[in-house]
Structure 1
């Protein structure tokens, strides 16, 4: 095969897209010793979004793993110029955040705690200190400031060229003005890339095409949900005596940011409702292009600029700039293997964070493409979380108008998406609304969070503590304890695995034994090669060669891809996504058995139907798979019913349950109850870097079964540490807290023992049944986290700068023996 324009006939990897993400991945592949990797770019490097980025480099992110990757980016930018001789313009001016409200001030104090835990220097500043550092800003309504001195800023064009130079010096190849036409496949797997200059044979392709990724991926049946939006900023004329070391400034509540730029100020903002760009496709000629500056649209943001920086009134504005940036429906990037096409990897949708993500994402993608797994946990950013409907262009165009504002606005628990709503509805949607359900959006699904028939309007008050819905959630939790609650979880993923080798396929990825009797429900984790947790599911054997997996709705696509990617091609089984085929109603509480027994002739006694069992039973006029489980920790049943029978079953349960005090409950109540029971939440408390033994889930691992993914690592960990692993998930309770006044455990709060940092909160909130502030935490002790060490006490949690005494234990605070749910 002869290629034109000196393209190689083959390459170990091909990257499509010459923005900073693609170039960074090429550089990191070269650093890992991959010789001859190729990058193709339709125009010139950095000519899409990268060139006009503000270039602000922050480090603190929502998780420890992501923060470490951002720290790596900052380190990389300090080293690149020395390594390559190419200037990057990187300087560590720092970033100063201002708080204009009590809630934002508390968030900044919590960020200060988090920064110290992550070994990132930070400072909380008063007004005088802010005025000294940033004399041009109006501080009359500022509560406090938060400074991260080691944050920086970089010239995006220069740093992209430095990465390219470093990659080429190590043998990588870059072809500009070379357009990727399509990815070539055989039996669904990548075998090459066809370009307008020839074909390159390869088994690994990275799509890092920025705002072009949605349409290019969709042409191949791959989902990469994102859309371009217009992004505006202004550049002042030169300001006399403006310090070149001036920190970048962020005022989140006013959606603005600014940085020093060659003696000028670059001031940008992210309006609450933005403008989608290129709904009909990006022009083929696009290269280093600017968009028309819509003064009328941006005027409200500009007014805030001039109010916040009074000196602008006397300054000239040199540039009014508008350029496109791509945003995703949930505000997080898409990275990792494409589940639809083995051999294709995705790194796109950086949500205006491409520069600060570039080093960490490049490092991650290079490891993924060579080692088969990322170096750090990136669960919240996985490409496999996308659902097929999200290829819809109109959906992405509608959502991006809000996405740009979500990127930069004030966040708090319960903040709701308003655009592109009502797309995916469970069969009971209208009936739940009639019952007073308040809905949130999750991957298109309308999900009932709580019920308030008297006031079915979602509150808008921002709070990190007591919420306007807290009283309703309390009532639902206490009803679960004292009577019964009904929760519609039909949006959960339901995956049918069937065939002669179905049990082999499941046993390959599961820690637990899947070869169980028909009518048995098994709680298990899917594991990776490091023994880490890739999924947290229940699997019910409903026939000799049929298994039904129930998983969280974000994992519906991911879990299917994980099973398929680890199965032997010769195994005889099929995997069917049955999510829409079945409703899932769950009923919990001491009256739940009586309610169901009144509707069924089947024996539902504990003797006939024990915890963990699964039965197909008559229920009203329907046939239902009933599973004895409860994520609330009460006597409970999960009822899986064909979708067309869901309305009937709901009517009958509500009718019969009325005499027993049954009420509807939502996801907020489920979340509060699961914390009291110490039940782990995948994505918060457990993930790819956590093993079952480290998270207290060792009971779900059967090391004696035939080989499964991660078995050897887990066997070694068990032999070395037993139950006292150096990292351990535990339950935690604050000694003195109230539901109304807090302090509230949320996420990432540092934990100390005798003044020494020993861990952090992974999730937390108020427990209505135990009447305490509780959470789950990850603790670390080299000698092992033992019960004796925990029983010594003297633990404290740091919340917004203050220390609070805490009690820690291995087991749950509510019904630790599990007697209630097994009764």
Structure 2
């Protein structure tokens, strides 16, 4: 029975009584926050949770997401022992069908990943798949991946067990208690107003599912998630459905299928879903469903009839249409918001709430109690979205496509089609005139490569843009190319304590002379990467920080929350400036020819002012691609004149694909690939950059890592020229998996496919193999850069 009298104060208030809210409350109580309370407007599980198909498939595209779901499985089993509440766990495995050659590559890549993560999965023949699912028509099936450890649960029973466990530890539940307002002071959560009174609190876990965007807005925070209609068909009992069977995933036909009470449950993630406008699902939408839409479901029904001929004569119980919420990139939101301190998100579950809920709730509770998730979940960071993504127009366009991408093949270079052109670069017109193929990063349209003559065909083989990128790398290697770094976040740090503040938050010595550029890690208290940045010291009390394109919101929030006691001002100047990287052996001639010969006098990692085409610039001699050159910062409105001068003098535009290839050849680590919140500078060979003794965030932890850790990042060169690694492939030494690739590309300057990888056994020159979709490709492990290892080309 739910409690009736609200307390005056609770350490943490959890809003929402679905799987995420119940799991977060349970874990908060388990971590010692025994006065936490949960508020539910209606009754527990009455939003999305109750109608979940509740599949629990362990494998995800990253190790930590997979680890999170494995935790869910272990938790659900543990809960049954702890509380006596059956959770309905049925472990009959899952079958992922391949009916096209590319899908076979896709699922075999997943099988290879499973092996890297210690999950049991194997490719089986069509005949073996048919044995496991006799009811299916297997005429077009090429094979399948069998995952015997997958299963499903009963959503309401899992939540009942979580609630029982939470209450046993002192947590309390308040049903029929709607949130009407959120109280804040100085950008920090202080309380929650409800239909039953006001509760003061230190933090809120916002787990309100379909309604999270509206509740977040009460606290002044962006929560870009939108509900879409989600369909599954239920039939009455069918001959041949005896007992529980594996879940059948037929992604080429957008279907998932399982038994249900002797009949079948046939669900879909159709290519383009139906969005639901905010307000349609009102406060009375309790255990609610939307209207059956047979016209919309009909194409999926035709696919299902082809796969399951028995459906032809089956009696339909109902076409269930239950709303699910989706985010702009298909990943849930977890952690503290940038806008409001103490407001933590656990929402936007994109139809994987039951599988993820146990582990996601644990990580959210961990973030509230300890200030960070239990392991790196950067891809789910609540601060990863540009504010523009929260616009209703964009969500209404994007969310339906995201629903469809669940079952799309994850081709390298794939781009979303909806909600594009949200933010364009100052040189957008010039790039489109040069036939740029654009990719979206943090809302920005960035050129991926140039000279596009037709839309590229998606493939796992050598891509259509292979020769375009080769030409761009050749230009940067032999002449000069322009790379656009304008979307990089830029933060002005000014004030009397600018230097002292950066000495505190940065790993390297930031007290360098005016006119110096400094590349540094920003560590957290655990001595692992929070960010990596480049800082320009423009004046004694003025630094300009350059941060990752999609890290601006996160990094600005991190810096803001660490500036107490320092007299500094932090300003986001991202859109004020354009940044053009002029790279290549002819860069020196070009800057001299366009009016800035003094830039050639700059030392390496030195910054200086000049004029190009009569426009003021500030340039630094440095290189992210391993060729001599300059990163030129100018006012955004001057970019066109400067770019025109550089290209007229012989430079050609180059895109992100060329930059990535060259970065990997140089062994330069990147956030979200080689660097994250689980990685310390030691394992990427950068601990030696900490030239200071203590005094910075993470110093003590880093000192411990230096004693206990060793290098793990290596470069892999593959011997097979046509192999196409794309990242996240297992690396074998003999018959043992020793790690995984993190970034991969073709290395045009060394003439071979290459990858960066983290491995447990570093051995320069060791013969290794990389599993690319079930095929072992031979290669060699190298320590350090494989192109120009001494860096002579960058320092003319």
Once the two structures are superposed, what CA deviation does each residue of 1:315-349 show, in whole Å capped at 9, x if it has no partner?
11111110111100011111111111111111111
Kindly indicate whether the alpha-carbon contact (under 8 Å) linking 1:20 and 1:160 is maintained by their aligned counterparts in 2: yes
Aligned to 1:622: 615
CA distance in 1, matches of 2:598, 2:710: 46
Count the aligned residue pairs: 794
- 1:737 and 2:725 matched: no
SS at 2:563 equivalent:
coil
Aligned to 1:604: 599
- Structure 2 gaps, min length 5: none
CA distance in 2, matches of 1:153, 1:727: 40
CA distance in 2, matches of 1:43, 1:51: 13
> In the TM superposition, what are the counterparts of 1:87-106 in structure 2 within 5 Å?
87-106=86-105
**C-alpha deviation, 1:241, in angstroms:** 4.2
Aligned to 1:373: 372
CA distance in 2, matches of 1:813, 1:216: 51
**C-alpha deviation, 1:236, in angstroms:** 1.2
Aligned to 1:583: 578
Mean Cα displacement is larger for which, 771-780 or 77-86? 77-86
Aligned to 1:552: 548
Distance 1:212 1:406, change over 3 A: same
Once the two structures are superposed, what CA deviation does each residue of 1:529-578 show, in whole Å capped at 9, x if it has no partner?
1111111211111111111111221101000011112222x311111110
> In the TM superposition, what are the counterparts of 1:658-697 in structure 2 within 5 Å?
662-697=651-686
**C-alpha deviation, 1:418, in angstroms:** 1.1
Once the two structures are superposed, what CA deviation does each residue of 1:707-751 show, in whole Å capped at 9, x if it has no partner?
111101111222x25xxx3451111111x211xx31x22222222
SS at 1:477 equivalent:
helix
SS at 1:212 equivalent:
helix
SS at 1:420 equivalent:
coil
Mean Cα displacement is larger for which, 181-190 or 677-686? 181-190
SS at 1:774 equivalent:
strand
- Aligned equivalent of 1:755, options 727, 735, 741: 735
CA distance in 2, matches of 1:440, 1:138: 39
CA distance in 2, matches of 1:105, 1:726: 37
CA distance in 1, matches of 2:497, 2:332: 36
- Aligned equivalent of 2:773, options 800, 811, 823: 800
4+ residue segments displaced more than 3 Å: none
CA distance in 2, matches of 1:184, 1:451: 50
Aligned to 1:386: 385
What is the RMSD of the two structures over their aligned residues, measured on CA atoms? Answer: 1.5
Kindly indicate whether the alpha-carbon contact (under 8 Å) linking 1:189 and 1:343 is maintained by their aligned counterparts in 2: yes
Aligned to 1:126: 125
Aligned to 1:336: 335
Mean Cα displacement is larger for which, 808-817 or 594-603? 594-603
Aligned to 1:770: 750
Aligned to 1:183: 182
TM-score, with structure 2 as normaliser: 0.98
**C-alpha deviation, 1:448, in angstroms:** 0.7
SS at 2:776 equivalent:
strand
SS at 1:708 equivalent:
coil
CA distance in 2, matches of 1:211, 1:10: 27
> In the TM superposition, what are the counterparts of 1:59-78 in structure 2 within 5 Å?
59-78=58-77
SS at 1:13 equivalent:
strand
Once the two structures are superposed, what CA deviation does each residue of 1:46-97 show, in whole Å capped at 9, x if it has no partner?
1111111110001111111111111111111222222112221111111110
TM-score, with structure 1 as normaliser: 0.94
CA distance in 1, matches of 2:756, 2:606: 28
**C-alpha deviation, 1:798, in angstroms:** 2.3
Aligned to 1:158: 157
Distance 1:328 1:627, change over 3 A: same
- 1:246 and 2:245 matched: yes
Kindly indicate whether the alpha-carbon contact (under 8 Å) linking 1:703 and 1:715 is maintained by their aligned counterparts in 2: no
**C-alpha deviation, 1:281, in angstroms:** 4.9
> In the TM superposition, what are the counterparts of 1:423-442 in structure 2 within 5 Å?
423-442=422-441
Mean Cα displacement is larger for which, 408-417 or 472-481? 408-417
- Aligned equivalent of 2:759, options 779, 783, 789: 779
- Aligned equivalent of 1:712, options 686, 695, 700: 700
- 1:563 and 2:559 matched: yes
Kindly indicate whether the alpha-carbon contact (under 8 Å) linking 1:204 and 1:343 is maintained by their aligned counterparts in 2: yes
SS at 1:203 equivalent:
strand
**C-alpha deviation, 1:34, in angstroms:** 1.6
> In the TM superposition, what are the counterparts of 1:146-545 in structure 2 within 5 Å?
146-452=145-451, 455=453, 457-459=454-456, 461-545=457-541
**C-alpha deviation, 1:280, in angstroms:** 4.3
Mean Cα displacement is larger for which, 747-756 or 12-21? 747-756
SS at 2:417 equivalent:
coil
Aligned to 1:634: 627
Kindly indicate whether the alpha-carbon contact (under 8 Å) linking 2:767 and 2:781 is maintained by their aligned counterparts in 1: no
Kindly indicate whether the alpha-carbon contact (under 8 Å) linking 1:751 and 1:761 is maintained by their aligned counterparts in 2: yes
CA distance in 1, matches of 2:230, 2:703: 52
CA distance in 1, matches of 2:342, 2:657: 39
- 1:790 and 2:764 matched: yes
CA distance in 2, matches of 1:636, 1:249: 54
CA distance in 2, matches of 1:685, 1:259: 38
CA distance in 2, matches of 1:282, 1:755: 54
CA distance in 1, matches of 2:779, 2:90: 41
CA distance in 2, matches of 1:397, 1:314: 37
Aligned to 1:9: 8
Once the two structures are superposed, what CA deviation does each residue of 1:781-820 show, in whole Å capped at 9, x if it has no partner?
4xxx4xxx434x2322222233333211221111111110
CA distance in 1, matches of 2:610, 2:167: 65
Aligned to 2:606: 613
SS at 1:790 equivalent:
coil
CA distance in 1, matches of 2:553, 2:501: 17
**C-alpha deviation, 1:393, in angstroms:** 1.4
- 1:654 and 2:643 matched: no
- Structure 1 gaps, min length 5: none
SS at 1:11 equivalent:
strand
CA distance in 1, matches of 2:280, 2:188: 27
SS at 1:775 equivalent:
strand
Distance 1:141 1:173, change over 3 A: same
**C-alpha deviation, 1:372, in angstroms:** 1.4
Aligned to 1:821: 794
Kindly indicate whether the alpha-carbon contact (under 8 Å) linking 1:612 and 1:629 is maintained by their aligned counterparts in 2: yes
CA distance in 1, matches of 2:162, 2:556: 36
CA distance in 1, matches of 2:720, 2:227: 45
Aligned to 2:687: 698
- 1:644 and 2:654 matched: no
Kindly indicate whether the alpha-carbon contact (under 8 Å) linking 2:386 and 2:443 is maintained by their aligned counterparts in 1: no
CA distance in 2, matches of 1:551, 1:41: 39
SS at 2:681 equivalent:
coil
CA distance in 1, matches of 2:302, 2:607: 62
**C-alpha deviation, 1:759, in angstroms:** 1.4
SS at 2:431 equivalent:
helix
CA distance in 1, matches of 2:70, 2:209: 23
**C-alpha deviation, 1:237, in angstroms:** 0.9
